[in-house]
């Protein structure tokens, strides 16, 4: 982000979007809905491996296996999805090269044979066609088909008949860092032919989440309008932004680098609101000892700054002392004049700049279960419609610590 891009709270809003979570007033609408586009899906799939799987008693004479590679193969046209998984014995270390041997269109037996005889492979390898489904509130990984291969002198167990390998609860999730860690969320997941849709609800406030998981006119329009390099699209209620701003940013500094204004400004009590192609950020802005009521108005299909206003707080100049009243009124007039001058300078500097942000310099960190993740978000397009703000951009996610169990 260059220094001419608006920084008045946008970085924080972006960070909270990278978490794909929110807090808002309870109703059945999603607090936030995110669409993972094809370019990001492989990276998301890799966050599920290595995945340790405990087997039923006496199944294939194994107690545990490990899925070391996972390739997403798209939706199944019935609300679920398919993926290829590479299974190793639990004692074997993951082999990064396993991903290079996967192809959604190749017979499983061919893939298994090639991997079993590759350098560094264990005594046997199993390739599974994994069927992924979501129903309230469980994400399930099942086995639709398998093929195995082994090195000379060894035999591979068969995972045929292993109907389900893993189930993840997606309700009552604690996914916000402190001080928001006492909030709980329900996450609904849907699969289209080429995308994954995630809808986040306040815990216990969604009776029929499936209606929000398929493509609709609004989502299709957002995806179509997204820049070519975008790998996610997300929209959220303005209430989400405001509640999280209250929790995580009661105040923060804004760097001002324009002529004759080199000192930082301090923003407090920031709130956002919007409508069709318009958004307003309002709050208190202090510069030295002067405190302003500030607003930043943005508009357009890709929200750009149109006007910044600063209003000094009203001072009651009604004392009995005439000279004191005159002094107070003069001071108020001077502050009002300076407010207009500063607002004009800020508007001139930022007008036409997109309300974009980046968390690249400050990666997000959050945990799902026992696994910790790091994520970055960079917005490429910002828009507003009715009571929601929408973003299209590039995100990256990686596992920091822990293993899926």
| Residue 20, pLDDT score | 39
**CB-CB contact of 167 with 139 (8 Å):** yes
Give the tens place of pLDDT for each residue, 353-371.
Answer: 998 766 766 677 766 667 7
User: Which pLDDT value is given to residue 252?
Assistant: 67
Q: Go through the chain and tell me how many residues it has.
A: 405
pLDDT digit string (tens) for 77-101? Answer: 888 999 999 999 987 656 656 667 6
**What is the percent of the chain with per-residue pLDDT over 70, rounded to a whole number?**
82
6: pLDDT strictly greater than 70: no
DSSP-assigned states of every residue in 84-112: EEEEEETTSPP-GGGGGG--TTS-HHHHH
Tokens in use for 149?
A: 């291969």
Greater confidence, 161 or 328? 161
Write out the two tokens for 109.
Answer: 């037996």
What does the alpha-carbon distance between residue 135 and residue 79 come to, in Å, rounded to a whole number?
A: 10
pTM here is: 0.83
Mean pLDDT on 302-307: 95
Annotated domain spans of the chain: 56-161, 248-350
pLDDT cut 90: percent of the chain above it = 35
- Average pLDDT over the chain reads 82
Strands of 176-303, DSSP E? 185-191, 196-202, 232-237, 251-254, 265-275, 278-287, 290-299
Residue of 226, 270, 132, 243 whose CA lies nearest to 180: 243
């Amino acid at each position: 982000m260059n220094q001419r891009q608006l920084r008045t709270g946008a970085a924080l809003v972006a960070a909270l979007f990278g978490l794909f979570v929110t807090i808002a007033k309870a109703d059945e609408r999603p607090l936030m809905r995110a669409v993972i586009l094809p370019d990001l899906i492989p990276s998301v799939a890799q966050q599920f491996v290595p995945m340790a799987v405990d087997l039923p008693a006496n199944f294939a004479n194994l107690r545990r296996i490990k899925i070391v590679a996972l390739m997403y193969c798209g939706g199944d046209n019935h609300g679920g999805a398919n993926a290829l998984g590479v299974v190793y014995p639990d004692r074997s270390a993951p082999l990064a090269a396993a991903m290079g041997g996967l192809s959604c269109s190749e017979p499983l037996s061919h893939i298994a044979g090639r991997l079993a005889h590759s350098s560094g492979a264990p005594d046997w390898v199993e390739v599974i066609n994994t069927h992924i489904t979501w129903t309230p509130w469980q994400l399930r990984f099942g086995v639709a088909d398998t093929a195995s291969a082994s090195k000379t002198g060894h035999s591979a167990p068969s995972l045929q008949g292993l109907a389900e390998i893993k189930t993840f609860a997606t309700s009552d999730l604690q996914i916000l860092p402190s001080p928001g860690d006492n909030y709980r969320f329900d996450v609904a997941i849907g699969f289209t032919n080429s995308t994954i849709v995630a809808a986040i609800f306040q815990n216990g406030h969604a009776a029929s989440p499936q209606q929000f998981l398929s493509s609709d006119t609004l989502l299709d329009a957002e995806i179509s309008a997204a820049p070519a390099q975008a790998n996610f699209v997300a929209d959220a209620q303005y209430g989400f932004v405001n509640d999280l701003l209250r929790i995580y940013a009661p105040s923060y500094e804004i760097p001002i680098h324009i002529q004759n204004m080199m000192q930082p400004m301090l923003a407090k009590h920031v709130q956002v609101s919007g409508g069709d192609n318009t958004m307003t950020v309002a709050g208190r802005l202090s510069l030295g000892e002067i405190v302003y009521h500030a607003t930043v108005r943005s508009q357009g299909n890709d929200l750009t700054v149109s006007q910044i206003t600063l209003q000094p707080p009203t001072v009651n100049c009604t004392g009995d002392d005439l000279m004191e009243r005159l002094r107070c009124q003069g001071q108020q007039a001077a502050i009002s004049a300076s407010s207009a001058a500063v607002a004009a300078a800020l508007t001139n500097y930022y007008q036409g700049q997109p309300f974009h942000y980046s968390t690249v310099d400050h990666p997000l960190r959050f945990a799902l279960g026992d696994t910790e993740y790091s994520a970055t978000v960079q917005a490429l397009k910002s828009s507003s419609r009715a009571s929601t703000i929408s973003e299209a951009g590039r995100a990256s996610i990686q596992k920091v610590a822990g293993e899926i169990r």
